[in-house]
Structure 1
Amino acid sequence: MSEVKSFWCHEASNILCVRASDFDNVTRLFLDAAERCVAAERREKELQQRLTAADERADTATTLIQRIVANFDTEIEYHEDVEPNDLEHDQVLAEMREFLSPKDTEWRMHPCKNGHLDVGAAGGVAHCYTCDEKITAANTQEAFEQWNATHPAS
């Protein structure tokens, strides 16, 4: 950007002035930067939510693995003296199967029309963070559904 030119306006009681076109350019640049900042904050919030969900899944997986290993250790340690805890074993296996099954509640967005994978949905808007392609709807669920309906899976 070229430097904004300022000048003194003696007719306006020595007020420092800038040309209207320079003011408009600086304002536009400021508003563009503010929009990008808001989009970055929204993306950060979405990524934090995804990270929290991934952490919770990792904690659940760790707990299930610890429980099944403890059950097997008990069976190995007391091979003939103690009956294995089949109820605990079956319960852990059932929970592990549920944990590993795909969830209908997971939102997997298709790439944008340019093929970018960095896409997300929040605040009633589904959008691509790379090329700013957007779909706006009444709520986030509708925006997500419209996005996937109009964008083929990769």
Structure 2
Amino acid sequence: MSSNPTAADIMTERLCASMKREEHLQQRLTAADDWADLIQGLLRRLVRNIDQECYCAEDLEQQDDQFSSIIKSIRAELKAADGSKPSTCTWSEGGFSWHTGCGKEWQFTDGGLPAENGMHFCHSCGKKLVVESAQSA
């Protein structure tokens, strides 16, 4: 009996990988939408505060506190978005597919290294793609 996967096995594996990628991308899209909504709200608050300051200069101390609070929130969100995440995604070869540093899986129809297939950035996290060498694996 042959241990080679059948065409159906390969297609099933690819379908499962594709569905996992789609689910992960949807989660990332939802998170990005939530973050954009939050930033948009903070910017609206900032603009309202600036508009009020232009028209109501008599209450500057309260406005300064509000302005400082808004700026602190914006800085916190921007810092969280920058984070201390690595700037690369390390891929390692595993059988018929590549395993990404961000927890996903990718397959090339014709095999080969990611760079040989035009891949320079991770399809999932968007970071610069680095291939793990056989020596470090």
Give the shorter-chain TM-score range: 0.5 to 0.7
The match for 2:59 among 63, 67, 82 is 82
Which of these two proteins has the greater Rg computed from alpha carbons? 1
The match for 2:83 among 103, 107, 121 is 103
Distance in 2 of aligned mates of 1:48 and 1:56: 12
Q: What's the RMSD between the two structures over aligned residues?
A: 3.7
Gaps in structure 2 of 5+ consecutive residues: 94-99, 114-128
Q: For the structure 1 residues 132 and 30, does the alpha-carbon distance in structure 2 shift closer, same or farther, using more than 3 Å as the test? A: farther
The Cα shift of 1:128 comes to: 3.8
Q: Are the counterparts in 1 of residues 91 and 132 from structure 2 also a CA contact under 8 Å?
A: yes
| Alignment map for 1:1-154 (pairs within 5 Å) | 28-79=6-57, 81-83=58-60, 85-101=63-79, 102-104=82-84, 106=85, 109-110=88-89, 112=91, 119=100, 121-122=102-103, 126-130=104-108, 151=132
TM-score (norm 2): 0.60
CA-to-aligned-CA distance 1:93-112 (integer Å, 9 cap, x gap): 111111111223x5754254
The Cα shift of 1:29 comes to: 1.0
Distance in 1 of aligned mates of 2:112 and 2:48: 50
Q: Structure 1 residue runs of 4+, over 3 Å off?
A: 106-109, 111-114, 119-122, 126-133, 148-152
Paired positions, count: 107
Which secondary structure does the structure 2 equivalent of 1:85 belong to? helix
Distance in 2 of aligned mates of 1:108 and 1:50: 17
